[in-house]
Structure 1
């Protein structure tokens, strides 16, 4: 799919960004129809089950994944004081399954395996 395409799901337009011939789907657009909006992404990324899934996905698909740092994150997840953003996740673990973009097509994007 060419860069910055849109797909329509149940009447909502969702951006799809292609990088290195891999589609990343906008989580920002997907969450836009909910009352909480994009703040849902922040809640989702701090969920222990989400982080376990992301860690497993990265371990399978990313040879540069920082697995020791993931262990630290996984240990802290689930505690009330735990805070994590998608940007922190990417920086701390060298994750490749999610992208945070600024600008015209900005937002939080996830590999289709993660977004679905």
Structure 2
């Protein structure tokens, strides 16, 4: 889950819609930066090991899980904005038809 850790606390958050795009704004107790890479505390399995890219997800404060490939991050001071982007048509087809192989 994106949220508090050993050196920062999640102070407040809200979910808004901007131009039809869902945006989560998370306010922390200290300045934050955009997540880089995919540490286990933010993405995928918490028990260790690797998680295939298609199965990696971001869990937000309201409990919603979003595929990691569908989000973009923007950090400004103590605020982290998470935009939920509409996945491309092909990606949506692969999710809907898991038995369909990719080439």
Could you say which structure has the higher helix fraction? 1
Which is greater in Rg? 2
